[in-house]
Amino acid sequence: MARPLKATLEYDGGRYRGWQAQMNARTVQGTLLATLRTLAGEDVRIHGAGRTDAGVHALGQVASLYGRALPSADLGSFRRRWNDLLPADINILDLVPAAPKFHARHDASLRIYRYRISRRRTAFAKRYVWWVKEHLNEMAMARAAALLPGRHDFRSFCENPAGHDSTLVEVAFADLEVPPEAPDLLLFRIAASHFLWKMVRRLAGTLVEVGAGRLSPEDVADFLGRRSDRPASLTAPASGLFLEAVVYPGDVAPPSPDPFRPGF
C-alpha cells in the first residue's frame, strides 16, 4: 500500500449535502472520490477531519488519502490534474505525503470553526453570512462567548445527544469579535478537539439571541449547566459556518484568515 497523502482543501458547501458520502446525494467526499478514482483507481479512500453538515463551507478542511496507485512524487502536478477534474466550488490547496498511519479525523488535536454574522445587507456575501436585521449588542455576545472555553456538557446545543458517546467537549477558545475594517461583520470563532452535531450553529444562534436582548450571558451559562431545548429552536443557518482550520500535534496554530474571506 502506498504511503497516505494529506490534502488540505477549501469548498463552498452551498450545493452539497455535507461532507459525508451518501447514496443519491451530492456530497463533498463523494465528489472528491469520484474524481480521484479517475486518476488513482477504484481502491482509493478519503477520510475528512470534519464531517461538515449540508451547506457548511470550509477554508481549511483536511483529508487523508489512501490507495495503491496514489503518487509518491510530483504531487504538485497530481494536485493540478485533480483540481482540473473538480467543480469550481471545491479546490485542493495543498497535497503532501503523510505519516504511514495518518488519519485526518482521528489524529486531529484541534478543529477551528468560524461563524460569520452580517449586520447589513450585502449583495456579494449573502451565501457566506447570516444577515441579522436586528440591532445586536456585540459586547453582550462577547461576554457569553467567553463562558464557553473549558470542559462543559454541550447537550443543550447538540442534535441527537443519544447518538454521541458523550456530550462533554473541551473548548480551547471561543470569542466574538468585530474586525475594525468591517464594523458590520461579527465573527464567532471556536476551537475544540471535536464538536457535536449542529453544536456551533446552535451556539451562534444563541449568541445572536443574547445580542438581541432576548437572552442573557447568564442564560448561556445555565444552558451549560442543565439540559434545555431552547437552543434547538435557535439553530443558525448553515450559510455562515466555516471549518476554518484543523490542527495536528506539532503544528503551529494557523493565523486567523482575513475576515473578508471569502468576500464580504
Q: Where are the beta strands (DSSP E) in 45-184?
A: 45-48, 57-66, 90-97, 110-118, 130-131, 150-153, 168-177
Q: Which of 259, 245, 262 is nearest to 60 (CA)?
A: 245
Q: How many residues does the chain have?
A: 264
In 10 A of CB 245, how many CB atoms?
24
Distance CA 180, CA 177 (A): 9
Which cell is 47 given? 477520510
Active site residue 53: yes
Residues sharing a CB contact under 8 Å with residue 187, sequence separation 6 or more, in sequence order: 114, 115, 116, 117, 176, 177, 178, 179, 259
Q: Which residue has the cell 456579494?
A: 124
The SS3 of residue 186 is strand
Catalytic pick among 43, 53, 94, 165: 53
Please identify every residue annotated as catalytic.
Answer: 53
